Chain A
């Protein structure tokens, strides 16, 4: 009678749905990293001299830095000279409308179900489509421009708004902040720049779809979002990548600046190729994400992390202004041999600052899933408050869940709460569901969605639906 169910440790994985490679001519720099390559990248981008100097400084700093190894992840050492640092879809000229976009690229997006036309016409989402390293299409620019909102690829922004970009670039994540941020600062090839003027509420969700497309090409995105005083913006980031045998390095930097009274919501659904069932291949994702809050401002990170072979990511918030609010809501799912070391840092510097951390880890297969978080209350942060809740859910008995909370309090008026739970989807629960007519995969979906509901609620509606489906897909076949 056991032939239909072999127990929940039988974890297999559905082949990666979006694993295809688009055939577009590549403009490739030679492998390896040196000052010449950086000069070439900067030249290709038509950047001002000052930005080149900024890159070179970051590079020189990077050569003196050591790759961090404190995270609870294991991977073979990366040969940084064996990576391509520049690849761009060969462009004839900059497309002015969708008709001018490479039909191959449009087809790729269609396969992913994120057709630009559809999004343009139906969903009211402006998409800055990033294909490898160069923006190939930017929509809704005009509408946004009327409000004075700038939504551009960062390269364009550097050319068109050099003073504005230079004022904030590296202001939250300094070029020498950490090994991967320094690497990114030296070689970032594209990304997004958003500026919301004073008092403006951005009327649509801004979003970027990432797609890594060239074999062995590191992807170094740089995102900078500046919300001027009393403004509001919600930004969505969603990602897929094609199957590759070799590990692909990804080291992005995201900087958020919320000036006094501003609010930024940043939502991510991440589904990069995580490697096969044996743990071969997959993306290495080393990301630095950080926001800076002025007085009475608010930054919220909401993320659903399901992909990548390795995730090293701590979207953080510096609550510098008084009464600033920081939120971090995260679901991180690992399956097979995936490893995730992820969490957040909440740095309270201003008075009456508040932060909330809700982290939901889900581990299946042979994966390891760690929450690592820091709550720091500075000496001047009177009446600062933090609430942290870190939950772990285990599926099967070969996976691991770990929690590394760090709390530093330097002000006696602080109020810091931390709660943590670990639970497991049991055979009993699955049998109970089965007996009521609910198949095992459906049952796991039901339990997972219930468990992560608190985070889904924080995502924009269409993202929440996508995220729920994604979790189910990522665990499909995980139970025999």
Chain B
């Protein structure tokens, strides 16, 4: 589904990603862990198509297509979804309008009929239960005045409604209390299936207790320095990132 080949990326002349290779198949959950400044969020942003990054080398294929030839919205139509670390507020635009517009844009580009208001509301209400979200949040402006937990739930709600092929969760656990974390994780787990894939980006192992990954990769200084199964996350938690630093320095 996603193939990243030798990806080198810089921002303002600073090289952030220094040769990433990563392959994700349908049905898999991958986790990328790493200390602050290792390039985790850069990877998420460049996959989603955010401005300001320069690809110096390498290639990314998404469903066999050259990802960098697609605009951010085209990537979304193709089924790529990014749950933002810091969800953006859009005053004046209701959550419902925003989500309905997004869903219908994606459906339109997939050759599906657009949903009318009634069908849309039915779909959304069902999904809102998944993340235990108050229906009143639908009528409120996108993320405006939402608590940190509500914002993160809103991201997962969008994911649930838009049904992406590849969902990238960028530090979705940050700022969540344990109850919210469980709720969000349950929401994500209920969306796992053999046709989609999830890339979880996180600093802490905690989230991976609830969203159990098939593969764990450690990103350090712009490179994936270690890959393994879920036990790698536990090792990392126990030994800390210094262990990786030392290991990298040795090799």
A residues lining the B interface (CB < 8 Å): 1-2, 4-5, 7, 423, 426-429, 431-440, 442, 446-447, 450-451, 453
> Taking chain A's interface residues, is the majority helix, strand, or loop, or is none over half, making it mixed?
helix
What is the distance, in angstroms, from A452's C-beta to the closest C-beta of chain B? 8
In angstroms, Cα B49 to Cα A105, docked, is: 50
Which residues of the other chain, A, contact B97 by a CB distance below 8 angstroms? 446, 450
In angstroms, Cα B93 to Cα A453, docked, is: 9
B residues lining the A interface (CB < 8 Å): 46, 48-53, 55, 68, 71-73, 75-77, 81-82, 84, 87-94, 97-99, 101-103, 105-106, 109, 141, 158, 162
Which residues of the other chain, B, contact A427 by a CB distance below 8 angstroms? 51
Q: A436-B105, A450-B141 are in contact. List 8 more A-B contacts (CB 8 A).
A: A1-B55, A4-B72, A432-B90, A433-B90, A437-B109, A438-B101, A438-B102, A450-B90
Which residues of the other chain, A, contact B91 by a CB distance below 8 angstroms? 423, 450-451
In angstroms, Cα B94 to Cα A326, docked, is: 29
Which residues of the other chain, B, contact A440 by a CB distance below 8 angstroms? 73
Known: A428-B88, A450-B93, A451-B92. A1 touches B101 (CB 8 A): no
Which residues of the other chain, A, contact B105 by a CB distance below 8 angstroms? 436-439, 442
In angstroms, Cα B7 to Cα A1, docked, is: 13
What is the distance, in angstroms, from A474's C-beta to the closest C-beta of chain B? 18
The 5 closest A-B pairs by CB, nearest first: A450-B92, A437-B76, A434-B72, A436-B102, A4-B71
Which residues of the other chain, B, contact A1 by a CB distance below 8 angstroms? 46, 49, 53, 55, 68
Partner of A432, one of B46, B77, B88, B103: B88
Which residues of the other chain, B, contact A437 by a CB distance below 8 angstroms? 73, 76-77, 102-103, 105-106, 109, 162
In angstroms, Cα B91 to Cα A427, docked, is: 14
Known: A427-B51, A432-B88, A432-B90. A446 touches B101 (CB 8 A): yes
Partner of A435, one of B76, B93, B101: B76
Partner of A439, one of B48, B51, B73, B84: B73
Residue of B nearest to A434 (CB): B72
Known: A2-B51, A446-B98, A446-B101. A438 touches B73 (CB 8 A): yes
Which residues of the other chain, B, contact A428 by a CB distance below 8 angstroms? 88
In angstroms, Cα B72 to Cα A434, docked, is: 6
What is the distance, in angstroms, from B244's C-beta to the closest C-beta of chain A? 29
